[in-house]
């Protein structure tokens, strides 16, 4: 901490003592260059004027004594440049593209002449930022308009090299990091979920100027992301009124039918089939528009957009295992409302914006789960609640900025913002749910009215969320100063503060009940605890209640130092102070000071030929995570999960709940319960350290001609420290945990759950991503653009990250991972620091006695090719396409243990890989001029997965029963096993109470698929 104090003092002194003032979550691109005469002599005092061709905004700077100009604060867009000096002919460059995060170098020669003489420079400027080590993929407005895509900016992220996406990935995976480890920003406002890191706010493209995906070499101004930074920059108004009106249609007439379902027949739990459900009527209509222009010419401007989407879908069902037809309708409204005001007065530019994205939904469509087309096991009466069950979600982000140009070489920026995110359920009655986890059809003593297959329920199982609200407020102050001292410097620095809060109130009414007909309860210890006359049942008391909040402070400084006009050193340091809150007032879960989160960002770039068209570069940086509230909720007083086990002595299970639990108490300690959420206030390692990843990057980039750049890039990311719950099993079979860093501190030695000798080490986390990336990009000109990339990579280790791609519940299990702030669950477990990876020593070993199960991780794709682009044909016809092709992902056999742990019995990847994943998206549009003043009509068809390739994304990988809902009678007990000596998992499956019936017949069958063709039809009027 002494070092941290000295750093803070020194950094603050540097910022205060600089003669003039730099930007954090960046919103700008930049221009720099040298002006000379034809002999090569520098020309100080030259005026460089840059005009935004869209908004009309004008900036003027004057070259310094060495002929250098620098404009670091340009909004992304297209500009015209004028360079002029008395005694020389004026030089004009009519089209310069400025992209987010890039500073483009444009050197200019002026020839002697009169200022009335104009020399127009038609050659394209450099498209490479030769001073930067940042690896980023930018998609500009003109490219966004011409390529196939979804409706929100996140869909553009997939075009970037080293980005993959899917349900198992937990969203977008950047350079091997899980989907919970990215930062999503809209105009610099972080819109991630505080709870699990997912992106939580969509933005339609009508008000976006540019989308950028940063993947490596990310500067010191960024924190809280181990993966990528995915940024959207919104449009601003200008001196000219511009706008559009649009109508979008998406629905079943333009889309393929659903993917097939893998079904284990709930009547006998032996027969397995695939079923193809009918395509159901589904219609989404969106009508909106946007407009921008002047309020006061040259001073005050506005931009506004409004786009509500109305969705209606009706599903036809065959309820009660196919015997009872019926329908359920769902109506939804998604609203996108955006407003922005910009003011320019001399050296000061200020702006404020708000993005409002509420969603309302009425009616809930249960998933088909029965044996047969459109079949569902539950009755129509049990689904009556779904006719009105719905939700409300509300996201609001606001931001305000003040940028002050203190001189031609410096500016100061202050920015504040707020992101409010709330979810609540509607229309759910307070009825306790029960579900048959085992069929009782034909069971003696059970009346026909009570008989049903596995999955029979009285009402949908629903966690009632009265509110789940997160709030993030922030203020950042940043300073940017260009000066000369043993070379050219661009010094940036800043301070940031953010306040985060989570307020949640959610509970299952009366708990929820799992019925295990004709079965004995086998405790986690392996002991057979007996049963009632008809089997046993479990009542779960689960919920989240309370409020927690905390602060994060940050400080960074970074210098971009160019030596001898070719070599640039990027030297930065970021540090943060983070409090991780608890749901117990006044008692933080943990605290990390500035000294705990020192994050150097170092790099160098070399302009090989000195002409700004060929660079080699390298960087190294350390990146710390912002701890997700899922840890605070689950381990520090927010979550409750208590399970009561009772003998089943009645066939009338409709009245079972937390207040009515008849039958013998079967838990190991009668009179108590199994506690799955014991708070960790007294079991947190006092020396715990924050989660981080180190990233190394080297590469080269070369510009061919005026519009094509080629690049080669290698990245090595190494995650070697995380925060997790490290578990053991007590004498009662309960899991107890330490919160710490696996393999370090209190979590160094394993706590044996069986007969394994004490003294074996806890494996340290390992996630290593290595990739070679090759890119070719042709920017938009002459009516076309294209981009191609190939990535060869390896994702290796024992830990997939915050979003646990090892913990997957595919649709065939009829179970999903509970996901905060949304009605539906997720296929993969969402982001958090309390996953199953270190919950018990059983998971550290394979069945051959190998400690630390290393291998290719579940989302490893060694080969990925992407190609996208667009071409404008004569008469206004536009063709765009995006092709993605990637290797399949590894598959690993799991065996369920009595502790509900998936065991890697044969190591990782023993089942091979899924098939190659490929898809093609296409866009076809036709544009017509309408009247004068550039008024146009555009008709557009956007088709995703045009060839309807419903590729396999996963195969069922549980060898024994228990996927989704635990099945104690099929689980293997390792309570008497020395894990270091290995074990015969097949023998132990056969020794379970279910014997040979414990094997799951779905093993190795495809159970998750890419969605089929989806089409959008659009009509736009542009002016």
- Reported as a single tens digit per residue, the pLDDT across 946-961 is 999 999 999 999 999 9
pLDDT value, residue 608: 96
- Rounded mean pLDDT, 372-394: 96
Q: Which of 610-614, 744-748, 949-953 has the lowest mean pLDDT?
A: 610-614
Report the distance separating Cα 438 and Cα 446, nearest Å: 14
Please report whether residue 73 resides in a domain: yes
Contact 646, 537 (CB under 8 A): yes
Confidence tier at 10 by pLDDT (50, 70, 90): very low
Beta bridge partners of 885: 865, 918
- Sheet architecture: strand order including 118-120: 58-62, 47-52, 77-84, 90-98, 118-120
Residues 6+ away with beta carbon under 8 Å from 41: none
Residue with tokens 């085992």: 438
pLDDT value, residue 914: 98
Token pair belonging to 129: 């930022």
Strands (E), 155-281: 163-166, 171-174, 183-186, 189-190, 208-216, 229-234, 242-251, 261-264, 272-275
Q: Shortest CA distance to 898 belongs to which of 976, 838, 845?
A: 976
Q: Shortest CA distance to 993 belongs to which of 617, 535, 681, 461?
A: 535
Dihedral angle of Cα 268, 269, 273, 278, to the nearest 10 degrees: 80
Instruction: Give residue-wise pLDDT tens across range 315-334.
Output: 999 999 999 999 999 999 99
Domain CATH code at residue 62: 2.60.40.10
Report the distance separating Cα 777 and Cα 139, nearest Å: 11
Residue with tokens 């209509």: 285
- Rounded mean pLDDT, 19-37: 67
pLDDT value, residue 23: 36
Please report whether residue 582 resides in a domain: no
- Rounded mean pLDDT, 107-126: 73
The two beta strands, 692-704 and 598-607, are unpaired
Q: Which of 610-614, 729-733, 858-862 has the lowest mean pLDDT?
A: 729-733
pLDDT value, residue 388: 96
Please report whether residue 50 resides in a domain: yes
Mean pLDDT over the full length of the chain: 93
pLDDT value, residue 28: 83
Report the distance separating Cα 435 and Cα 594, nearest Å: 50
Residue 363 has, within 13 A of its CA and on its CB side, a CA count of 14
Confidence tier at 11 by pLDDT (50, 70, 90): very low
Confidence tier at 480 by pLDDT (50, 70, 90): very high
Report the distance separating Cα 401 and Cα 396, nearest Å: 17
pLDDT at 1009 over 90: yes
Please report whether residue 797 resides in a domain: no
Please report whether residue 58 resides in a domain: yes
CA angle 336, 462, 194 (to 5 degrees): 50
Going from the C-alpha of 758 to that of each of 122, 752, 841, the distances in angstroms are: 75, 6, 11
Q: Which of 35-49, 345-359, 691-705, 831-845 has the lowest mean pLDDT?
A: 35-49
- Residue 734 falls in which region: left (phi positive, over 0), alpha (psi -120 to 50) or beta: beta
Contact 103, 33 (CB under 8 A): no
Instruction: Give residue-wise pLDDT tens across range 411-465.
Output: 899 999 999 999 999 999 999 999 999 999 999 999 999 999 999 999 999 999 9
Total domains in the fold of the chain: 1
pLDDT at 19 over 50: no
Q: Which of 33-37, 143-147, 387-391, 512-516 has the lowest mean pLDDT?
A: 33-37
SS3 629: helix
Report the distance separating Cα 272 and Cα 258, nearest Å: 19
DSSP one-letter code for 862: S
Instruction: Give residue-wise pLDDT tens across range 815-850.
Output: 999 999 999 999 999 989 999 999 999 999 999 999
Gap between the terminal Cα atoms of the chain: 58
Report the distance separating Cα 214 and Cα 191, nearest Å: 16
SS3 630: helix
pLDDT value, residue 48: 92
Beta bridge partners of 337: 306, 356
Instruction: Give residue-wise pLDDT tens across range 522-532.
Output: 988 788 999 99
Confidence tier at 121 by pLDDT (50, 70, 90): low
Report the distance separating Cα 800 and Cα 860, nearest Å: 10
pLDDT at 21 over 70: no
Contact 829, 964 (CB under 8 A): no
- Rounded mean pLDDT, 648-660: 97
Report the distance separating Cα 370 and Cα 297, nearest Å: 64
Report the distance separating Cα 868 and Cα 776, nearest Å: 11
DSSP one-letter code for 969: G
CB-neighbour burial class of residue 445 (10 A; exposed 0-12, middle 13-18, buried 19+): exposed
What backbone torsions phi and psi does residue 460 show, to the nearest 5 degrees?
-60, 140
Confidence tier at 672 by pLDDT (50, 70, 90): very high
Beta bridge partners of 897: 972
Token pair belonging to 468: 């789940």
Contact 661, 644 (CB under 8 A): yes
Please report whether residue 75 resides in a domain: yes
Report the distance separating Cα 576 and Cα 9, nearest Å: 14
pLDDT at 26 over 70: no
Q: Which secondary structure element, helix H or strand E, spans residue 403, and what is its range? A: strand 390-407
pLDDT at 345 over 70: yes
pLDDT value, residue 115: 65
- Rounded mean pLDDT, 274-282: 97
Please report whether residue 89 resides in a domain: yes
- Rounded mean pLDDT, 744-765: 95
pLDDT at 49 over 60: yes
Contact 313, 282 (CB under 8 A): yes
pLDDT at 729 over 90: no
Please report whether residue 82 resides in a domain: yes
Residue-number span of the structural domain to which 63 is assigned: 3-13+22-125
Give pTM, 2 decimals. Answer: 0.89
SS3 617: strand
């Amino acid at each position: 901490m002494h070092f941290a104090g000295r750093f803070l003092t020194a950094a603050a002194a540097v910022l205060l003592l600089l003669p003039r003032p730099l930007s954090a979550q960046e919103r700008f691109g930049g221009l720099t260059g040298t002006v000379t005469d034809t002999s090569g002599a520098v020309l100080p005092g030259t005026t460089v004027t840059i005009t935004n061709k869209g908004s009309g905004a004008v900036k003027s700077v004057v070259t310094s004594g060495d002929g250098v100009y620098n404009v670091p604060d340009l909004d992304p867009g297209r500009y015209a440049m004028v360079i002029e000096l008395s005694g020389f002919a004026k030089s004009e460059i009519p089209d310069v593209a400025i992209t987010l995060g890039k500073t483009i170098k444009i050197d200019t020669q002026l020839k002697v002449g009169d200022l009335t003489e104009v020399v127009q420079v038609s050659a394209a400027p450099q498209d490479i930022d030769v001073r930067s080590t940042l690896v980023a993929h930018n998609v500009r407005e003109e490219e966004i308009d011409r390529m196939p895509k979804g409706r929100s900016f996140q869909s553009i992220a997939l075009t970037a090299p080293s980005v993959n996406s899917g349900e198992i990935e937990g969203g977008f995976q950047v350079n091997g990091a899980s989907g919970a480890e990215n930062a999503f920003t809209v105009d610099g406002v972080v819109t991630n979920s505080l709870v699990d890191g997912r992106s939580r706010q969509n933005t339609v493209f009508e008000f976006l100027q540019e989308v950028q995906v940063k993947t490596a070499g990310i500067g010191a101004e960024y924190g809280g992301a181990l993966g990528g930074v995915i940024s959207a920059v919104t449009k601003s108004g200008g001196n000219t009124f511009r706008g559009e009106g649009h109508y979008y249609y998406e629905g079943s007439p333009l889309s393929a039918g659903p993917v097939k379902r893998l079904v284990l027949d709930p009547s006998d739990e032996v027969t397995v089939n695939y079923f193809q459900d009918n395509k159901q009527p589904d219609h989404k209509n969106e009508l909106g528009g946007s407009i921008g222009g002047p309020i006061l010419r040259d001073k005050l401007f506005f931009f506004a957009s409004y786009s509500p989407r109305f969705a209606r879908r009706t599903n036809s069902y065959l309820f009660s295992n196919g015997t009872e037809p019926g329908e359920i309708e769902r109506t939804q409204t998604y609203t996108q409302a955006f407003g922005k005001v910009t003011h320019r007065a001399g050296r000061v530019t200020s702006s404020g914006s708000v993005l409002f994205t509420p969603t309302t939904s009425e009616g809930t469509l249960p998933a088909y789960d029965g044996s047969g087309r459109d079949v569902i096991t539950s009755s129509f009466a049990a689904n009556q609640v779904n006719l009105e069950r719905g939700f409300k979600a509300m996201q609001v982000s606001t931001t305000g900025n003040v940028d002050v140009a203190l001189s031609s070489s410096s500016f100061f920026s202050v920015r504040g913002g707020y992101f409010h995110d709330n979810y609540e359920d509607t229309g759910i009655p307070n009825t306790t749910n029960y579900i048959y986890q085992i069929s009782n059809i034909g069971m003696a003593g059970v009346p026909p009215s009570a008989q049903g297959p596995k999955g029979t329920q009285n009402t949908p199982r629903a966690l009632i969320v009265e509110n789940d609200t997160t709030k993030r407020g922030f203020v950042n102050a940043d300073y940017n100063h260009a000066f000369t001292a043993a070379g050219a410097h661009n010094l940036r620095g800043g301070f940031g503060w953010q306040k985060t809060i989570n307020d949640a109130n959610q509970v299952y009414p009366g708990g929820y009940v799992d019925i295990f007909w004709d079965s004995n309860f086998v405790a986690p210890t392996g002991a057979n605890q007996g049963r009632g006359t008809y089997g046993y049942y479990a009542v779960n008391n689960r919920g989240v209640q309370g409020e927690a909040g905390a602060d994060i402070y940050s400080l960074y400084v970074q210098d971009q130092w160019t030596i001898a006009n070719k070599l640039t050193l990027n030297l930065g340091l970021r540090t943060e102070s983070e409090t991780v809150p608890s749901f117990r007032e006044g008692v933080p879960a943990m605290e990390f000071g500035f000294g705990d989160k020192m994050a150097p960002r170092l790099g160098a770039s070399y302009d090989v030929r000195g002409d700004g068209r060929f660079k080699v570069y390298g960087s190294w940086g350390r990146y710390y995570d912002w701890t997700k509230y899922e840890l605070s909720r689950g381990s520090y007083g927010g979550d409750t999960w208590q399970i009561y086990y009772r003998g089943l002595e009645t066939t009338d299970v409709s009245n079972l709940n937390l207040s009515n639990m008849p039958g013998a108490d079967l838990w190991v300690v009668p009179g108590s319960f199994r506690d799955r959420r014991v708070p960790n206030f007294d079991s947190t390692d006092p020396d715990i350290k924050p989660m981080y990843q180190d990233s190394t990057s080297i590469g080269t980039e070369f510009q061919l001609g005026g519009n094509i750049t080629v690049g080669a890039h290698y990245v090595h990311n190494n995650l070697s420290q995380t925060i997790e719950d490290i578990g053991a099993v007590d004498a009662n079979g309960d899991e107890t945990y330490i919160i710490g860093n696996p393999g370090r501190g209190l979590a160094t030695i394993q706590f044996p759950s069986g007969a394994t000798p004490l003294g074996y080490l806890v494996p340290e986390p390992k996630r290593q991503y290595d990739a070679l990336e090759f890119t070719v990009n042709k920017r938009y000109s002459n009516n076309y653009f294209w981009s191609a990339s190939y990535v060869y990579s390896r994702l290796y280790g024992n830990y997939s990250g915050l979003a646990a791609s090892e913990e997957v519940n595919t649709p065939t299990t009829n179970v999903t991972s509970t996901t905060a702030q949304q009605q539906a669950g997720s296929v993969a477990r969402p982001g958090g620091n309390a996953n199953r990876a270190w919950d018990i020593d059983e998971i550290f070993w394979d069945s051959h006695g190998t400690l630390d199960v290393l291998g290719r991780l579940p989302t490893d794709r060694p080969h990925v090719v992407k190609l996208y682009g667009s071409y404008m044909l004569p008469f206004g016809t536009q063709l765009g396409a995006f092709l993605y092709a990637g290797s399949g992902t590894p598959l690993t056999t799991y065996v369920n243990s009595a502790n509900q742990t998936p065991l890697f019995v044969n190591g990782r990847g023993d089942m091979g890989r899924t098939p190659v994943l490929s898809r093609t998206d296409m866009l076809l549009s036709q544009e017509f001029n309408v009247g004068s003043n550039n008024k146009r009509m555009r008709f557009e068809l956007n088709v995703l997965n045009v060839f309807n390739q419903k590729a396999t994304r996963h195969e069922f990988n549980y060898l024994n029963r228990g996927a989704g809902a635990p099945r104690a009678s099929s689980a293997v007990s390792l309570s008497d096993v020395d894990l270091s000596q290995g074990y015969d998992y097949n023998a132990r499956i056969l020794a379970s109470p279910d014997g040979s019936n414990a094997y799951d017949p779905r093993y190795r069958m495809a159970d998750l698929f890419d969605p089929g063709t989806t089409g959008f039809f659009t009509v736009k009027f542009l002016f």
